[in-house]
Amino acid sequence: MVIDEELMAKRAAEDALDATLRSPVLKKARVEEVQDETKHLPAAKERLATNGPTNVSHGLAEDKEEGEEGEEGEESEGNGKEDELEDEEEEQAPTRPRNAGPDARYSDLYLDTISRKNMDFDFEKLCSVTLSNINVYACLVCGKYFSGRGAKTPAYFHALEVGHHVYVNMETKKVYVLPESYEVKSQSLDDIKFVVDPRFSAEEVKSLDRRKEPSWDLMGRKYMPGFVGLNNIKANDYFNVVVQALAHVPPLRNFFMLEDLSTTSQLPQRFSTLVRKIWNPKAFKNHVSPHELLQEISLRSNKKFTLTSQADPVEFLSWFLNNLHLALGGSKTKPKSSLIQKVFQGSLRLESQVVTPGAEVAGQMRFSNTGGIKSQTTPYTILTLDLPPAPLFQDDTEKNIIPQVPLTTILQKYNGTTTQERLDKRLCYRLLHPLPPYLIMHIKRFQANKFLAQAQRNPTIVTFNPRTLDLSPYTEPNPALHPVGEPIIYELVANITYEGVKVRDDSVEGEAEKRVWKVQVREGGGGGIERQWWEMQDLFVRRVEEELLATRESFVMVWERRRAGVGKDGTGKSRAA
CA pair distance 276, 197, nearest whole angstrom: 8
Q: How far is CA 90 from CA 31, 86, 94, 95, 359, in A?
A: 18, 6, 9, 10, 111
DSSP conformation class of 259: S
Phi, psi angles (nearest 5°) of residue 274 = -65, -40
- The interaxial angle of helices 237-246 and 266-278, nearest 10 deg, is 80
For residue 53, report the phi and psi dihedrals to the nearest 5 degrees.
-65, -30
Q: Give Cβ neighbours of residue 481 (< 8 Å, ≥ 6 apart).
A: 433, 434
How many C-alpha atoms does 123 have within 13 Å on its Cβ side? 14
Paired residues of 352 in beta bridges: 374, 427
Instruction: Report the candidate in 550, 418, 426, 420 with the shortest Cα–Cα distance to residue 473.
Output: 418
Model-level pTM?
A: 0.77
For 17-73, how does the pLDDT look when each residue is reduced to its tens digit (9 = 90+)? 444 444 444 444 444 444 444 444 445 444 444 444 444 344 433 344 444 444 444
pLDDT over threshold 90, residue 319: yes
Cα 300 to Cα 234, 297, 446, distances in angstroms: 19, 5, 26
CB 500 within 8 A of CB 457: yes
What digits encode the pLDDT tens for the residues 355-407?
776 544 444 444 455 567 888 999 999 999 999 987 776 655 555 578 899 99
Average model confidence (pLDDT) across the chain: 79
Eight-class DSSP state of 390: P
Q: pLDDT tens across 272-293, in order?
A: 999 999 999 999 999 999 999 9
d(CA 100, CA 153): 19
pLDDT tens-digit series, residues 460-479 = 999 999 999 999 999 999 99
- Tell me the DSSP string of 407-441: HHHHGGGGEEEEEEEETTEEEEEEE-SSPPSEEEE
State mean pLDDT over 524-549: 84
346-561 matches 198-327 in CATH topology = yes
For 525, which DSSP code? -
Nearest to 369 by CA among 420, 425, 413, 429: 425
Q: Which CATH number fits domain 346-561: 3.75.10.10, 3.40.50.300, 3.90.70.10, 3.40.50.2300?
A: 3.90.70.10
**With contact defined as beta carbons under 8 Å apart, do 132 and 151 qualify?**
no
pLDDT of residue 569: 47
pLDDT at 96 over 60: no
423 CB-near residues (< 8 Å, 6+ apart) = none
What is the rounded average pLDDT of the residues 145-162? 93
Q: How many CB atoms lie within 10 A of CB 571?
A: 14
Cα 131 to the center of its chain, rounded Å: 19
Element (H, E) at 361: strand 346-361
Q: Which are the contacts of 153, defined by CB distance < 8 A and separation ≥ 6?
A: 146, 147
DSSP state of 118: G
Looking at domain 104-195, does it have CATH number 1.10.10.10? no
Name the nearest CA neighbour of 232 among 306, 153, 167: 306
Residue ranges of domains in the chain: 104-195, 198-327, 346-561
Sequence-distant (6+) residues with CB within 8 A of 134 are: 147
Weakest mean pLDDT among 135-149, 466-480, 502-516: 502-516
Residues 6+ apart with CB under 8 A from 394: 400, 401
From the options 2.30.29.30, 3.90.70.10, 3.40.50.720, 1.10.150.120, give the CATH code of 198-327.
3.90.70.10
Q: Which residues are 518's β-sheet partners?
A: 497
Of the candidates 379, 484, 384, 485, the one whose C-alpha atom is nearest the C-alpha of residue 435 is 379
Q: Answer whether 245's CB lies under 8 Å from 552's CB.
A: no
pLDDT tens, residue by residue, 175-188 = 999 998 889 988 89
Q: Distance from first CA to last CA of the chain, Å, rounded?
A: 123
For residue 56, give every residue at least 6 positions away whose Cβ sits within 8 Å of its Cβ, in sequence order, or none.
Answer: 44, 47, 48
In the 8-state DSSP scheme, what is residue 328?
T
- C-alpha to C-alpha distance for 22 and 73, rounded to whole angstroms: 14
